[in-house]
Amino acid sequence: MWPQGAANLSWAFGSIQFLAGAAALMALAPHVAKGLDEFEPQGLSSLLYGYAVLGQPLGEDLGVVLPAAVASRRLPHRTRHTPAFSHIHS
């Protein structure tokens, strides 16, 4: 449950632009870095959203391991949802 909780917390801080949450994200970064492989793609996206909106650097721990972890993942190709304008052909 902790990856989802961390992702939700980060997303919530970003969504309401809770600037005081930046300190919590900074404290969370080393723990996230150690458990990065437990995050689902959406959870990782939500986590990074909070960091980005608050302008919070990823920190040394997370900043080092994140690019390699993302590059090594094989994310599933999304075929469930049809783009909104797929009926228009050029």
Q: What is the pTM of this model?
A: 0.72
Confidence of residue 80 (pLDDT cuts 50, 70, 90): low
Query: What value does the CA radius of gyration of the chain take, rounded to a whole number of Å?
Result: 15
**Structure tokens that stand for 77 in this block:** 């190709």
User: Residue 41 class from Cβ within 10 Å (0-12 exposed, 13-18 middle, 19+ buried)?
Assistant: exposed
Q: What is the pLDDT of residues 14-62, one digit of tens each?
A: 999 999 899 999 998 998 988 888 888 899 899 999 999 999 888 888 8
Give counts: helices (H), strands (E), the chain.
4, 0
